[in-house]
A and B are shown apart, each in its own frame.
Chain A
């Protein structure tokens, strides 16, 4: 149950970062940082690592 909740939170945070990435207009640094932060979240969501 806790594990499922964590996956839901992970997906939610991933969507937030994705949305921020799409909305970001000015800072290239922020774009790169959003993507880097998304890597472990996506790998976890895909049950790779």
Chain B
């Protein structure tokens, strides 16, 4: 009798432990795969060197904060620009814009540095409570390209624990505890601070050492958030931003305006880059309906086409800050806007400082991307030359 009881207990515990391991595997494996999935990036015809952010912030070496910097140097000297995508890894239009530059741009005058996964740790994180997809596929002419869909903040696996309040360095402004993992609150960073401060410090060092003229930080913003469809610029960048904004609005037909960078809100790229280096910062925002809260399920389809019936209803009640109809706000429009605005900033900068021009070709503009899709400008890694792919 006693043996039977022990057998039953053992069997019950074995079944429960098996179910437990099944649950761990079921929930954990997709997250593990997501964290360790590397995105292939093709070195386009204009890429002349590939660096690491740890070259500029040594204490990033060997950490998930380290990331690749693609250098596109022109044959003729000129100005220098930095493009950053995935500062927030749940705003993938920035990363895709950066990739279109890396895989297509040929620089004729000047040099462009591109960091497609600025918050590399954030791109390996997710927000399961919001039902985020872990990856998304962009259709191309030859198939599709798969990308990680990340979170706004770095993974707690890489930077933890969070403080009760994040005390910004060096201004000591009190920010939300979560912002210690947000690479758009940790500028200008420091060499031995928390991991995300080391990330922004690396970019600051790159800008200071290589004397970068223009920095473009590409984001996406909710349609219910007023700072969207815009360029955020501090005083030193505002003239170029205004000219770029007016030009794309008039010539390319999409909405854009300039938002001043607030002096009293610290840690943001559009504020600290300008204050702590000679570089002119610009932060680009394009509407991404996926990030809005009152929407339907957060599906990959919604991420790509930006169509949502709840937002449409809110739009009819004039609750959104962008024009929104049945056509949604697709990835093509978002990436196209970012490309055109970035190109226009370079053009306006070159006009203003003719001794430091940034001239390039091969990058599509808004109308091209809306017509052809983003995938038209993404190559097939399987057909790239040997050594021509970087896994990021």
Contact = CB atoms under 8 A, between A and B. Distances in A.
B161 A31 contact: no
A46 B161 CA distance: 17
Given A32-B16, A35-B17, A35-B20, A6 B27 contact: no
A42 B28 CA distance: 10
Interface string B153-172: 00001001100000000000
A2 B161 CA distance: 8
B390 interface: no
Given A21-B13, A48-B35, A6 B161 contact: yes
B161 A3 contact: yes
A49 to B, nearest CB: 5
A40 to B, nearest CB: 10
A2 B160 CA distance: 8
B180 to A, nearest CB: 13
Interface in A16-47: 21-22, 25, 28, 31-32, 35, 38-39, 42-44, 46-47
Among the interface residues B20, B23, B35, B160, which one has the most CB atoms of the partner chain A within 10 A? B20
B178 interface: no
A49 B28 contact: yes
Interface in B209-256: none
Contact of A39 (B12, B27, B160): B27
Interface string B40-52: 0000000000000
Contact of B160 (A3, A28, A31): A3
B24 A43 contact: yes
Contacts of A39: 20, 23-24, 27
Contacts of A47: 157
B192 interface: no
A47 B160 CA distance: 12
Contact of B28 (A3, A32, A43): A43
A22 B157 CA distance: 29
A6 to B, nearest CB: 7
A48 B35 CA distance: 8
Contact of B12 (A3, A6, A31): A31
Interface in B1-46: 9, 12-13, 16-17, 19-20, 23-24, 27-28, 31-32, 35
Contacts of B13: 21-22, 31
Contacts of B35: 48
A48 B32 contact: yes
A22 B10 CA distance: 9
B24 A42 contact: yes
Contact of A35 (B9, B16, B28): B16
Given A31-B16, A35-B16, A49-B157, 19 more contacts: A2-B161, A3-B161, A21-B17, A28-B12, A31-B12, A31-B13, A35-B17, A35-B19, A35-B20, A39-B23, A39-B24, A42-B24, A43-B24, A43-B27, A43-B28, A46-B32, A48-B28, A49-B28, A49-B31
Interface of A: 2-3, 6, 21-22, 25, 28, 31-32, 35, 38-39, 42-44, 46-49
21 contacts: A2-B161, A3-B161, A6-B160, A21-B13, A28-B12, A31-B12, A31-B13, A31-B16, A32-B16, A35-B17, A38-B20, A39-B23, A42-B24, A43-B28, A46-B28, A47-B157, A48-B28, A48-B32, A48-B35, A49-B28, A49-B31
